Structure formats: structure tokens, C-alpha cells
A and B are shown apart, each in its own frame.
Chain A
């Protein structure tokens, strides 16, 4: 087990024309469960392959604790990696699959047997050891693939590249809790790549959001939800994603059109700004008083436990999540307020401030 440090790591597949991964410095801490979250093609798999050694980064260095491994091939790094679909030596039995990495490294027979049995016990594969691995269902095959990673001693980290893609939804839950269980029992560092926010948020101690080859924010699931540091995080996490309104800062006030919605935090220079607020933190009232801004209701989605109210503000669409009980008619005019400290200001997609309540008015 080791702390994995990336120092200015960047990767380009075409010799520097475009960068699949932009220079990043980042540390995977020992024993934590990480989710690497991002849309398809954002560089998640590239990053993972750089950690496991399948790719050598174009730039930068990688450290496992105090050992530099930038040029070390995968076999020398002691990393377990599980791929999107189950990769098995499918003419071998489950036992032989699990033993394969140990036999390649020349472990004595008893040691191989002891380790294989320990891992199969851990993963609940005991009764399948003698079976041909290709006869198992996709979920079990994926568990065997995982087991091949765990069987080696002192695994530095377990990397999972969207491992539940081929598994049917009912099995997903079982497997995910199995993974958490294994993480708890073995204390391995886990990096779980996914583009599914639910998977990421339920699984990880810490979620790393990757977009366009850059880490845009990393933090605990709650933190990403409550205080997105980047417009992308606001959009990508949460369902529906964060509302973004065009506004401006003038004289310390945040304006949408002519209406003030609050004060800008800090000493934000005047100019255009984008206001991001999650549907959960938009309040609708019928009372016209600052900082309320007028909005026209355009439609209501009844979701059962709650309603999603679609509205137009200054020509911008906006969604608010409200109690199911409230009665509103499409076409009616309502007034919006933002929950205190939950509306953020963005410039160039990066967070630059918070909307603070207007002095002397109720939030």
C-alpha cells in the first residue's frame, strides 16, 4: 500500500497536438475510496492507465511513496486493475485465474494455494473455484477479475474502470456493497472510475471530478453538491443540474436584469457574472420584495415526493424543486429567492464568489 503522487503529469496521444490529460498534481492517499467522475472522453481511463503503468505520461512524474515509478511497467507496480468488461483467461478455471498472477511471479505452490483460498473466501467464490471461468455470469466474472488483483500481497491500489457497465442493475447493488465491504476489510486504496454520479456519490469517500483532462474539483460527495467550485461540477452532479443565470456585478450588488438578488462576496470587480444555484435552493414566494426576482412559471413536473417548477427569468430557463403540495399554475408570476450561501458566482466557469444577503433584508 502506498500513497500515489502525480507530479505535473500530462498526457498527449498525438505528440503534443492535443492533451488528453492536462498537467496535474494530485495525491491519492492511502486507504481511501476515490471515485473518478467525469463524462466520456474526459481522460478518466488515461489517468487510470498512467497510474497502473499501462501508459507512460508524456510529461510529469509518478511516485509511490518515495519510489519513483514513472518508467516502471505495470508488473513492477503491484496495481490491481479491473476493466469495463470482465477480462478473464476464459479457458482456465476460476482457481487458475486467481493463481495466474502469483504463478507468473514464481510463488511456491502452498503460498499460491493459501492466497487463492483467502481471496476466494473474501469474495465468496469458494464454490466456483473448479468451474471454467467463462461459464460464470458477467457479475461473477467481474468478481474473479477483481480477485486476480487482490491475490497479490501488498497491492498498492485497486483501480476499477467502470467495472459495473456489463452487470445488470440488480447485481450492481450487490457488487457495489461487496466492493465497499472489501475496501473496509482490506484497507486498499480504491480508485473507481465512473460517469454515473449516483455510483460515485454512494461509493466514495472522496469524489474527483474530471472534465476535459483537468481535475475541476475534488471533495466529499456533500461538498461537491453543496458548494460546486466549477460550473461543470454544478451541471454534472445533481439531478437536475445547477441553474445558471447571466447577471452582473455593479456597486457590490449582484443583478439579474435590473433586480438585485444579493451582495457579491469579497471585492469582486464589476462586470458580467454567471449565477449558479441548484434547484433545491431556489425558493418560490408570491411576495414581491427584494431580493425576490420575478419569474413566469412555464411548466410543472410532478415527481411524486416533490415538484419541479420550470420558470423563465429574464428569458433564462430555471428549475426549482418545491414541495409537492404547493399549487401553481403555468403562466402565473412568482418570485424567486436563493437560499443563503447556496448561490454562487462564476467567471470563466470557475467559482469567484457567493451571493450574500442584501443588508437589512430578510434572507
Chain B
């Protein structure tokens, strides 16, 4: 077998080989559908935004190239800066609440038996609700007059709570809503991570007399690193770009209290139709998300290696 191979290989003429190579290169045409679809769905829209961001557009026929002017003005705008800090604070709070809570839920979820499907369905339920419906649910639920939650806080707990009037109440409402909506995602990811730990690890911990906390700290938590990296990235990106729910519940108010970057952006782009500033804003926003994700990812994958 091996002896016959070399002689066969030398037979085809150089011409044939060149033709074969040309034919092989035609395989690149198979990539074409992807290139076209990515161009139309991502590259061209993005380049349109880049195009807007460097022009001052008065009307479709009347536009002026302004260079990086919009970037400068957006970056210096106090309203944008305030929204940036607000959004960053919101994301930080979301991560601080949802990650530990999600892990805690995953730890107490049953590992076997009929409780497993029951717990999975129950936990996954908020994830199945469309985002604007989540907003509507909470908008009504938290109302102090007819909403069950809002009414209970006022009349059972005796706290003065009204998310349409008080900035702090509005913030807490949006935060609690996000925790309710997205902690299940963290819980499911963490649960999958925990399920993948082989039984002998828990058995060894039992034999070594490890407490429940020591078992969590030294066996479960180290093995959740991978899924938690994903959970943190997903939750950061989503919460940093949160739009629908606060838009439905508070509309960004009262005042500017829940006016996150995306809410402000849509106000500039769709409300005022300022395409130039909105384009520059979008690109800076995009850049911020990329940078934070990159930092998170690098830190999370490098530590403890």
C-alpha cells in the first residue's frame, strides 16, 4: 500500500495540479452567503452609523462633514456623563445581587428526583416572558394603588413607596425587576456547572469532614469559574444596555432617575432625530461595552490559573 503511493503521486502533470488548485479555490464561493448576510445585517448598518457620526445632517440633501466634533460634544455632555455613571452603577448592583443570588439558588436546587424538573420550570419561568411584558407586569404590580406589591409595601410594611414620584423608589423597582427577571439565568448556568461536578468530589469532602461552607468554597465555587465568567459577561452586557423594562415602567423618570444610556440614546436618535450625535453616542456606547467585557474576561480567566 505505502509502496505504491509515491509513484501514483508523481503521475499527474503540473497542468492538472494547477487546475486542481483553481478548482479547490472555488470553495471560497461557499463562504459568500455568510459574507453577504453579515454585511447586510451587521457591517453595513454599523458603517451607516459611523457615517452619521461624522456629519451634521440637516436634511437628506443637506449635510456637512464635521469630523470628530460629535464625539467630543457627546463625551463632554453632562447628561450623557450622568447617564453613563448611572448605568454603570446599575450594572454593578445587578452583578452584585444576581450572581451571588443565582449561585445560592443553584446550590439549593435539588440534584435528583421529581424536584429537578419542577425546580427547573419554576426557575426558568421569568426568562420565558417577553421583556416589555415583564415591564408591564411590574408597572402594575408595583403601583401603590392597584398593584399587589406596591399596595403591600405601603399598607402592610407601612413604608411610603411610590415609584412614579420618588427617584429612589423608581431605582429600586427597576433593580428588583431586573433581579427577578435575570437571576434565573445565572441560577440555571450555575446549576449546570454544579451538576457537572462528579460525585466523588462531594464524597471526598464528606470523608474529609468538610462543612457545607467548606464544600461550597473549595469544591463547588472553583468549578463554577467557567459558567460564572459567562454569567457575569452576559449579565453585564444586558444590564448595561437595559432599555425595554425601565422604558415601560418608569420611562426614564422620575426626572432622570432611571434614564440609562440606552433610554437617553433613543431619546436623542428617535425622539429628536439628531442622527449625528446619536451615531457618535452609539459608537462610544458600543466601545464602552467592549472594553468592560474585555477587562472582565481577561481578569476572570487569568486569576487563579
Contact = CB atoms under 8 A, between A and B. Distances in A.
Nearest to B204: A87
Contact of A75 (B209, B218, B219, B304): B209
Interface in B194-248: 198, 200-201, 203-204, 206-211, 214, 218-219, 222
A52 interface: yes
B208 A91 contact: no
Chain A CB within 10 Å — which of B203, B206, B304 has the most? B203
Interface string A81-96: 1011101011110000
- Interface residues of B, dominant DSSP: helix
A73 B200 contact: no
Contacts of A91: 218, 222, 304
A54 B206 contact: yes
Interface residues of B, number: 16
Contacts of B201: 87
Contacts of B218: 89, 91-92, 100
Contact of B200 (A74, A75, A83, A105): A83
B209 A105 contact: yes
A244 interface: no
Nearest to A82: B204
A12 B119 CA distance: 27
A174 interface: no
Nearest to A80: B207
Contacts of B203: 49, 52, 54, 74, 81, 83, 87
Contacts of B209: 74-75, 101, 104-105
A148 interface: yes
Interface in A221-247: none
A101 B208 contact: yes
A261 to B, nearest CB: 50
B46 to A, nearest CB: 41
A55 to B, nearest CB: 10
Interface string A198-236: 000000000000000000000000000000000000000
Interface in A100-158: 100-101, 104-105, 145, 148-149
A79 interface: yes
Nearest to B214: A104
Given A83-B200, A92-B218, 16 more contacts: A54-B206, A74-B209, A75-B208, A81-B203, A81-B207, A84-B200, A85-B200, A89-B222, A90-B222, A91-B218, A91-B222, A91-B304, A101-B208, A101-B209, A104-B211, A105-B209
Interface of A: 49, 52-54, 73-75, 79-81, 83-85, 87, 89-92, 100-101, 104-105, 145, 148-149
Q: Please name the 9 residue pairs, one residue from A and one from B, whose CB atoms are nearest each other, closest first.
A: A75-B209, A83-B200, A101-B208, A104-B209, A87-B204, A74-B206, A74-B207, A89-B218, A91-B222
